[in-house]
Structure 1
């Protein structure tokens, strides 16, 4: 495929990607704005409807309070509670009944609410709706009243009764909601204020036909809905918990809707405001045409631009291509024969020349590295030859010891051979604590042959740290340092103890000797060297490995630090007359020790 066609295809794909990204961003912003508008609208109307219902219920509770605040009415209620009338007319025209009926039949109660009614355990009923069509049933039974248990023994608290058929209707039984209160004292009965669903439907009628209001008690019972058959359990389950703001849920038909849950601060109820709107589809209808138009426009402009500019870009690229195809090792320093008319391509040519120069330098370096690698391989082979020679010599000495019936010589050769085999194994740089202890113990046994009773040692290391990792020949170096430097000018018995413990957040090994100790000046010098090595290891590890050398405490610290870095525990505790302790260990779980 020609370069010009490639440019056209690449830029076309680029334009498609940019357009898709731009369209996605536009779509996301449009959806966000649409959601904000819908959320604000739902929140606003929900607040209004919640306040309307709170006002209605507060008014019904206020009517009950107003009714029971009258002393004469309370006296009448006491008489009414014990009234045992033989006929309904006798009960109806009794003085106590007349007083209660007069209070209930005020214009405000008659106009604002569907029914106000008082009843008691003697099945005495007084209502403010005794006219035709709304007269209460005179044979209502207190014992069979459906919500009696909800109201009784509530300490006179106002109780909300959700949407239900009017229990007192004689001919008409419309759906109503009620506020009921048990009148306290002397079993004076109950007072109920009703409001009809028809009135509520008018009050909560909304121009937004796609919004539904579900008023629910905090116990989960439906208080009011325009559709009395709605199932509220599914909505409550999806809106369970302390949910703030509008949330997208599914309605009874499985369609996505928006729902806002609000709890009343003054009444025992919750309002679920449900908006039957699919934000994703609405936003897509608004943004998709514009996105397509942007896509077509950008593609058209891009193709026209690419076609015009690709013709100018092709010529200098071909120049460079011909130059690159004719470049060989023998003409690597040649210059391009033609003047490149494009600054960017000329920069590419300059970069190509730089690559050729670096390639030439790399080839020279590779030759030098090959020589160094050959030398390293030779040194490694030489290092493997020397231990084998020493093993052979030790075997000769051991055989001579057997011939001379000297088991000590055999034991010395055995221990030394084990040490050489461990130390000259170049395959592994690291070993377990268990292997290190065995190697160190072989060294101590050899020292014992030399010093006899003047040397005593003790090794006590927890099993829990036997499988921890250390650089090879660390413990033996510390012990050797203690034996060689700690007793130079001392005739005392050499006592060396090696202990290891596993703590809650760390493990450590302590090597103690009873030697002459380290002077303060020498100890400061060692710590300064350790700090210097630590700083170098942090910034230039490879150079430090070449510079440290030796087998002293600084070398031990460096090898441990390269393995464990900041988790390393390394302490030197010494007094000039009290011996020396070298402590190495590792912090685990990121704790400070």
Structure 2
């Protein structure tokens, strides 16, 4: 008994019990409301899926019905250049067979059907035919099928009608034996109160009208479509269809707007139905309740398993943490309270020579060293950025540069080239805004290349045909990070020094390439190049500068004009650390190059 009481008083046991209990309470408090909220959401989504399926199907049937009505009206109302309508041409075909008028009428009817089929593209077939087996359609038809079908009992409902639209469903296109596409049909008797001259029929692919979509994922889903007093289409068996008809007749009498939902407890199923006053169709869809809410049961099981797994993992973690935290916890708090970045010999008191305390001591010393090193690097890097910014203001945006550009603007304005003045002024404003803004020290290669192009375009207004430039940046590296004002100072060096002793136009190329995670940027020109002694001096100067900033020595400020190559390499070296290389020199033919390369920081 005493032993168990001592274990309960142990801090490790209390931590484990308290954390585990809190985790269980949190998991239960969060998971139960979330489950019921998501349960209702899933139920609404599932039911909404069936509602959308039924309403979408009804909308497609109504669309076909309205198109059919429109075609019917055009038969009576649209007259061609001779002043005749299609129904009048039908009279010529029926009552003047074999003559020229009959021949002309047949051509007019065929042209009408061709035009209509191009307008109403969702129709599979549009046909006009007579009791004399005169048949017109936008698709090929078999003569035998025409003769046998026209006088068959299939069209008795049309013969006895008064011009109303009558729906039908067939497992294939019966006018052509080679077409096995299931179709819905709409037919109508033409001129029913006069001479009953013929019939209009359209066929629409059944798959286009049904288009069940996600509903097919639910097993046991049945569909029944009823027109007035007979079944038009059903996926059920004959016996089941007969059993459902009384219920469907009652549902068809309802006038509710939108899709109605009925939960049938006796059959353990949900029914969705909609009656359209315009088409006369009642769409009825049923699905077993267990299949309808199968996603909900899956979600419930997954949620329960996830909560239990979370509780199990949490209690395991809390047990391990309680073991790790109990012994060095108090001393760790004291060490955290007394930590100072200037403390070079940081140690936690380890009177009992515990291995965990010694590991914490080492970790704290390493952390302190890293903090000091990172802080020094951050301060040094920001200092270089500020120094580069002020050097840029002094060396790059100096009165000489501004006087030259302003002189170009003045000369251009005096020549009346207002558009050119506006173009130069806009580029100058963009360049000055970018160069002066110091809020962000890092930018993207895309932005840096864009501002460099603006600078080159400004210089081109001065040097005209003597300056040519191309910029080729691989899209894969256009969003990589670079320090601000990386490319422009190197380009300015080309302009300042490459014009010496050359008579041909200066061509500057900026090339950015990538190979996997490696990148490379080169700035080349065809100018006079570096002098041999100057090249050696610059390489030594850059290496000395990098050695200085990598040591604990104070960094000497960059002199005016030193911004270009030295500062660019130094800032890229800081940004990419050990994943950066550079080289520069003279090209074999003429001019110079500067190449920097590294690995993209992921």
Determine which structure has more spread, i.e. the larger CA radius of gyration: 1
> TM-score, structure 1 length as denominator?
0.37
